[in-house]
Structure 1
Amino acid sequence: MSSDVRYRPRSLAVVGASPSSFVGRVALENCRSLGFAGRVVAVTPKYAEVADVPAVPSLADLDEPVDAALVQVRADRVLGVVEQGLAAGVRTFVIPGAGTTDSGDVARELVQELRRLRDEHGLSVFGPNCMGVLDLVTGAAPYIGTVGRELRRGTVGLAAQSGAVVEAFVNAGARVPLSTAISSGSEAVLGLPDHLRFFAADPETTAVLAFVEAVDDAGDLLAACRALADAGKTVAACVVGRSATAQEGVRAHSGRLAGAARTTAAALAQAGAVLAHDLDELIALGEVLGTRRHVRGRRTHLVTNSGGEANLLADLADDVGLELPGLGVSAHARLTERWPLFTPRNPMDPWGADDHEVIYPEALRALADEGGDLLVVGIDQQRTAGAYEQELGLFLARTLRDAVAGSDTVPVLLSPAAQDPPDELAAFCAAADIPLLRGARPSLAALAALAGRAEHPPAAAPTPPRAAQTPPSAPMASELPRTEDEVLAALAAHGLDVPRTRRVTTAGAASAAFAELGAPVVLKGVAEGLLHKTEVGLVRVGLSTPQETQVEAAGMLARAAEQGVTLDLLVAELVRGDLEVLVGFHRDPAFGPTVLLGLGGVWAEFLDVVDVHVGDLDECTAHAFLDRSRIGRMVRDARGGALDRDGVVRALCAVSRLGASYPEISAIDVNPVIVSRTRAVAVDAALTLAPMGGPST
């Protein structure tokens, strides 16, 4: 067992215990219901005992120190209790209250003081503003929510920055077999990285679920993820905060499309985490990981008792990226020889071809022998179902267990409707280590996420910079590229293909540039700080004669003069291709350099098809990033033949290198890169400087 008594206290004091208050007695009752064998002391000056637990007036009255104290008092009293506890030898405190919403400045000051005491005395604090810690290994429960009788001990750790999320898992009863659940709250002292490191070293924990809202120290978080990966423990994470509100103030596409949550999720994925889109997926991941079965890949065989649900599951499996291989010759012959009128396929619906006691065992064994990664039996199971339907579900669970015995295929019982299954079925599946999932889409998405991680094991996790330092060879700010053509030229110096261009100042010179470049051309207005040229009428595409070019150029210059804007013109060759791609760079304040790849053009933000790589790129990592991205699949599988993959890689490397060369740059937005089968050409580019520098394009 882990020796870290912060998480597994052997003795516990509950300050503020009261027989008349739910919050004042629930932790004591939780310890009793979970069978905690350690010492528990109620701390209150009003009562001699609370919930049959002996009480002392204060922490100063303890006859010997306790490992941890749960402090359930008003925010303005917390600091005094902690200082008293320190004097009495207590070093770990769980502080459920003192949230900013209800305590305001008092809560903010408390966080500062707790950090001071950490530095001076080495104390540990869970919270403030948390639900506490629930340890099912020892039964220690400095936790202020009710613990139901169905909660199941297992090997899945849970760390969440939201107390309500911890409650959701605790209230889910036996669904996820937990080792220890931690609500981290305001993280005044202990934060998510500390909790992950505990789980990495904990022999009672084999997998971890994390709910992430904010990252204070990206390097510390990723180091903790690496520790878990080194220990062979899977992390499944749900990262929130993708809304537009969280991205206000970011001007370039690359900054908006990266976003704090998306960058955090990308960094965690690169560190080996499996990502969940919502709590339903995270719970499903916990159910699978709790069985300690290993999902090796995407090859999935589905069996149902309904043709309609079979088709539904096939659609959803395709949506999330699971593969449904066709049946092999042997399996097909094995079933059709006995049931000539039956048409075996994947998904398979054997219902009605024979009595279910006869055909389902044969069908499941035949599919298990196919050597797939997952064997999923889909059948709706609810506590409210009739006795016959409940018995059918139990029969199929037993048959599924027997069919995969001795194989590496992971059995899954899936109820497509997200309702609670019968108790007897849940108990059987728990004993047989069969994931009992509910809700078709989140369940299949969770399986696909685990399969994806198995197919693409994490490489080295990104390492955020310790500080934003200017490299010795970095150019001076005055040398920064300022306008579109300068940014494109800088990218070209790093290997990106760009169009032939001519920068001019008069309509006549634009006509002459047309004659030099040849038809057709693109005409654009160019000025430092000019963003979104299309929206203000400063882009004309497909000009086919010198005269047309001169007229359009004169019009642009006249409109600019009317508005008091000094404008140059850029005449560029028109580049055509098959796919418009956005390639971007964003310097994240927590994770450092990131590179983006997504669908480009004027609909880039609306479509929001973008993937993020955290860290610098070289050719090798750029190829790997492209391969795992959605754009990579489009480039590879384009109708008529693959597009210029190497050209996209050069674009990714170019923005990464340019961003690394200029620490003043906060974002680079190359949109679009026009990709054909032979070229990938950047036709527009903008950059954004750090706030003190302002934007450039």
Structure 2
Amino acid sequence: MLLDRLLRPQSIAVVGASPRSFIGSVALRNCLELGYTGALIPVAQNHSEVAGLAGVPSLSAIDKTPDLAVVQVRTDRILPIVQEGLEAGVRGFVIPGAGYTDSGADALAVSDGLAALRREYEFEVVGPNCMGVLDLVTRAAPYVGTVTSDVRRGTVAVVAQSGAIIEAFVNAGGRVPLSTAVSSGSEAVTGLADYLDFFTEDAHTASVLAFIETLTDATRTLTAARRLSEAGKTLAVCIVGHSDTATEGVTAHSGKLAAGARLTTAAFRQAGALIADDLDELMAFGELLGAGRGRPRGRRTHVVTNSGGEGNLIADIADSVGLQLPLMSSAAVKALRERWPFLGVRNPLDPWGADDYTNIYPTAIHHAAQEPGDILLVAMDQHRASGPHERELGLALAQYLHDTDSAQGKFPVLLSPVSDEIDPVLVEYCRKAAIPLMRGARPGLSALAKLATGVQDVAESTWQRPLVVPDLPPGGTVTEDQALGILASMGVTTPRRLHADNPTEAATAARALSTPIVLKGIAPNITHKTERGLVAISPVDVEQAAAEMIAKNPDLNLNFLVVEQIRGELEVIVGYKRDRVFGPTIVVGVGGVWTEFHNDAAVHVGPVDEKAAARLLDESTVGNMMDAARGGALYRPGVLTALRAVSDLALAHPTILSIDINPLIVGRDHATAVDAVIERA
């Protein structure tokens, strides 16, 4: 497997090695300082020795072909040197330079040239525009940043396109025990999908953290993420691009198309990944997973703390992130109050001050561990700069937690509610005891809650093309009346509606419906009617209202639609969009004129079958609103039918770019689509 040579190299050549510059010698020095035992070959035309190692003038001059070549030369020299290496049999390259923002068009030419060579040769590349690789299995460090002595070997792999993110993990004082860290850069040849496939099969890696800006191949990457999850390995990802500014920044940094973070997040969640809200939470995932205890059995958590205020803070955050804090049992209350009558026994439990800590804390932690639950969390405000008594207390609490956990089998966590450095003695004890040591209440508790929540079913949709799908009318955009007719033929409920060519006919149609109506002015390619004054609800004089619409829109050749007025409890948007990166996507959210304001929609990447549609609705704000509606739950089957209809219609007609049902008015016994539009390429 070529990635073995790339990530677990047995020999490394460094092209552009130089004793006179940091970049020219750092990869060699990193390998030497980490104790790498493979062959190291400096390649330099003007230096016979670099970092105490004998050099050679070129890749072709090396007697035995190396597994990996680090190509740290000027942008214009990269492709010729890669070509030379390929002809010499090298099949793995790390290319730190030639970043998109470093050298613009020349860098793009390097990426294009590497892709062209990939069609001729089989090889793999980390980069361009990367920091390289740090592998603690072989202790190889073809990496162009300083690797400090406290980097720690473990079973967590990290992959990030951003070199600074990889440096954050490498330079974090060993907080996350690493198997391999990959700064993947521009991913001109080898991408995240390849790395995930490698770590799925890698016996040295139990979990993977990824920082994602853009995807080179969304389909392959998500398939690889599913395989990793199915192999029993946890993937946690931090995805950037939620704001317009960040999305523009991703494109500017990488030169690649960026998918919206909402879609990317939905796609990875469907593939079984855990989602980190920020870098601190991704680091917390690494600390939890790196302890080697797997995942908690559930979210039931008992907390012992040394501060009532901090206990209340933890309770607030635990509630917001989904951790459950069960009440203490009557047996625990009785046992603790028999010995300490004035102790407030609750969860979180704060025994501080009721007795000497050496008396009360072992017992308190023991009783918390006896309670039915999954996680035993001890919180203490202990810092590197704390005094000797506070450091002694922190170490004692960790020991009590370890002694109790050994007997009870709960998932133990030691939490410092403040994100601050911790006494090295306590850090080392927790590492040896395999106790996750978390810094910061919110990132720590949020990561813990997500880790304790069951992984979503990662099976792909079983969608099959329906036997009968209506044809689309000729032309471009399909607006309201025709779109509703198409959806009605697929089972979506729509209101009664009549056409009218002029105001007089509109008034006649309103009388014919004999029900409260909505008058709509319609014209080709006009999809947002409200903004142009083309919607009148329950007009007193239908003919006059239609005439006013004509007067306000002299540029339009208006006709009219007289529609049965539908009442309900909630306006919902159900939609489809063919995304440039992910392809088919389905959405459900708060609808009507407030759609853009609320910006609250749940997204599913790919088509939906009955199971996926139900799960999407369950996970959405709209679904929760429907279940919790005052007076009784709203009509769920109609929303599911609409979700299936837009999915089936779009998948059967690949020219469709988007479908919007907005609003779908939902009541207790119906879900009725009152407006819709279908956009085609």
Q: Tell whether the structures are fold-level matches, with TM greater than 0.5.
A: yes
Aligned partner of 1:457 in structure 2 is 456
Residues 104-140 of structure 1, C-alpha deviations (whole Å, 9 max, x = no match):
2221221222122222221221111111011011110
Q: Name the stretch that deviates more: 313-322 or 128-137.
A: 313-322
Aligned partner of 1:551 in structure 2 is 544
Whole-Å separation in 1 of the counterparts to 2:300 and 2:656: 44
User: How many angstroms does 1:451 deviate by?
Assistant: 2.4
Q: Name the stretch that deviates more: 152-161 or 315-324.
A: 315-324
Q: Name the stretch that deviates more: 95-104 or 369-378.
A: 369-378
For residue 678 of structure 1, the aligned residue among 669, 676, 680 is 669
Pair 1:392–1:601, CA change in 2 (3 A): farther
Aligned partner of 1:617 in structure 2 is 608
User: How many angstroms does 1:80 deviate by?
Assistant: 1.8
Contact 1:222 1:462 in 2 (8 A): no
Pair 1:246–1:141, CA change in 2 (3 A): closer
What aligned pairs does 1:491-640 form with structure 2 within 5 A after superposition?
Answer: 491-543=487-539, 545=540, 547=541, 549-560=542-553, 562=554, 564-640=555-631
Contact 1:464 1:590 in 2 (8 A): no
TM-score, normalised to structure 2, is 0.93
User: How many angstroms does 1:196 deviate by?
Assistant: 0.6
Whole-Å separation in 2 of the counterparts to 1:646 and 1:520: 26
Amino acid at match of 1:636: D
Answer yes or no: is 1:306 the counterpart of 2:307.
yes
For residue 474 of structure 2, the aligned residue among 478, 498, 506 is 478
- Paired residues, what number? 671
Residues 219-242 of structure 1, C-alpha deviations (whole Å, 9 max, x = no match):
211221122123211111112222
User: How many angstroms does 1:259 deviate by?
Assistant: 5.5
Amino acid at match of 2:214: A
User: How many angstroms does 1:94 deviate by?
Assistant: 0.5
Amino acid at match of 2:547: A
Whole-Å separation in 2 of the counterparts to 1:243 and 1:192: 23
User: How many angstroms does 1:427 deviate by?
Assistant: 1.2
SS at match of 1:437: strand
User: How many angstroms does 1:91 deviate by?
Assistant: 1.5
Aligned partner of 2:228 in structure 1 is 228
SS at match of 2:55: strand
SS at match of 1:672: strand
Aligned partner of 2:352 in structure 1 is 351
What aligned pairs does 1:195-274 form with structure 2 within 5 A after superposition?
Answer: 195-244=195-244, 260-274=260-274
Whole-Å separation in 1 of the counterparts to 2:247 and 2:14: 41
Q: Name the stretch that deviates more: 300-309 or 428-437.
A: 300-309
SS at match of 2:494: coil
Amino acid at match of 1:415: S
Residues 508-539 of structure 1, C-alpha deviations (whole Å, 9 max, x = no match):
22223332334432222222211322222222
SS at match of 1:414: strand
Pair 1:593–1:463, CA change in 2 (3 A): farther
Contact 2:2 2:92 in 1 (8 A): no
Aligned partner of 1:280 in structure 2 is 280
For the aligned residue pairs, the C-alpha RMSD in angstroms reads 2.5
Whole-Å separation in 1 of the counterparts to 2:357 and 2:517: 69
Contact 2:94 2:127 in 1 (8 A): yes
Amino acid at match of 2:59: L
Pair 1:402–1:515, CA change in 2 (3 A): farther
Structure 1, unmatched stretches of 5+, are 249-257, 691-697
Contact 2:214 2:259 in 1 (8 A): no
Residues 617-665 of structure 1, C-alpha deviations (whole Å, 9 max, x = no match):
2222211222233322222233332222222212211221222232221
Aligned partner of 1:39 in structure 2 is 39
Q: Name the stretch that deviates more: 402-411 or 129-138.
A: 402-411
Amino acid at match of 1:109: A
Whole-Å separation in 2 of the counterparts to 1:247 and 1:609: 19
SS at match of 2:493: coil
Contact 1:494 1:657 in 2 (8 A): no
SS at match of 1:412: strand
User: How many angstroms does 1:264 deviate by?
Assistant: 1.9
Contact 2:30 2:146 in 1 (8 A): yes
Whole-Å separation in 2 of the counterparts to 1:12 and 1:443: 38
User: How many angstroms does 1:481 deviate by?
Assistant: 7.1
State the identity %: 52
Whole-Å separation in 1 of the counterparts to 2:71 and 2:414: 43
Answer yes or no: is 1:433 the counterpart of 2:426.
no
User: How many angstroms does 1:162 deviate by?
Assistant: 1.4
Q: Name the stretch that deviates more: 607-616 or 679-688.
A: 679-688
Pair 1:5–1:259, CA change in 2 (3 A): closer
What aligned pairs does 1:361-400 form with structure 2 within 5 A after superposition?
Answer: 361-400=362-401
Q: Name the stretch that deviates more: 160-169 or 614-623.
A: 614-623
Pair 1:446–1:654, CA change in 2 (3 A): same
User: How many angstroms does 1:20 deviate by?
Assistant: 1.7
Amino acid at match of 1:478: P
Whole-Å separation in 2 of the counterparts to 1:457 and 1:636: 21
Aligned partner of 1:693 in structure 2 is none
Pair 1:298–1:639, CA change in 2 (3 A): farther
Contact 1:2 1:203 in 2 (8 A): no
Pair 1:535–1:259, CA change in 2 (3 A): farther
Aligned partner of 2:53 in structure 1 is 53
Whole-Å separation in 2 of the counterparts to 1:247 and 1:176: 28
Whole-Å separation in 1 of the counterparts to 2:200 and 2:657: 35
Amino acid at match of 1:486: Q
SS at match of 2:326: coil
Contact 1:412 1:435 in 2 (8 A): yes
User: How many angstroms does 1:480 deviate by?
Assistant: 7.4
Amino acid at match of 2:548: G
Whole-Å separation in 1 of the counterparts to 2:565 and 2:247: 34
Pair 1:507–1:476, CA change in 2 (3 A): closer
SS at match of 2:282: helix
Whole-Å separation in 1 of the counterparts to 2:381 and 2:512: 70
Pair 1:151–1:332, CA change in 2 (3 A): same
Contact 2:276 2:282 in 1 (8 A): yes
Whole-Å separation in 2 of the counterparts to 1:79 and 1:538: 61
Pair 1:646–1:472, CA change in 2 (3 A): closer
Aligned partner of 2:648 in structure 1 is 657
Amino acid at match of 1:644: Y
TM-score, normalised to structure 1, is 0.91
Pair 1:183–1:634, CA change in 2 (3 A): same
Contact 1:582 1:671 in 2 (8 A): yes
Amino acid at match of 2:343: F
SS at match of 2:505: helix
User: How many angstroms does 1:178 deviate by?
Assistant: 0.7
User: How many angstroms does 1:101 deviate by?
Assistant: 1.7
Whole-Å separation in 2 of the counterparts to 1:592 and 1:184: 24
Aligned partner of 1:254 in structure 2 is none
Amino acid at match of 1:77: R
Aligned partner of 2:334 in structure 1 is 333
Structure with the bigger RCO (C-alpha within 8 Å, sep 6+) is 1
User: How many angstroms does 1:470 deviate by?
Assistant: 14
Residues 396-431 of structure 1, C-alpha deviations (whole Å, 9 max, x = no match):
111122222244421111111111111111111111
Pair 1:332–1:645, CA change in 2 (3 A): farther
Contact 2:147 2:171 in 1 (8 A): yes
Whole-Å separation in 2 of the counterparts to 1:441 and 1:475: 52
Amino acid at match of 1:377: V
Structure 2, unmatched stretches of 5+, are 249-257
Contact 2:133 2:181 in 1 (8 A): yes
Pair 1:25–1:395, CA change in 2 (3 A): same
Contact 1:383 1:420 in 2 (8 A): yes
Aligned partner of 2:68 in structure 1 is 68
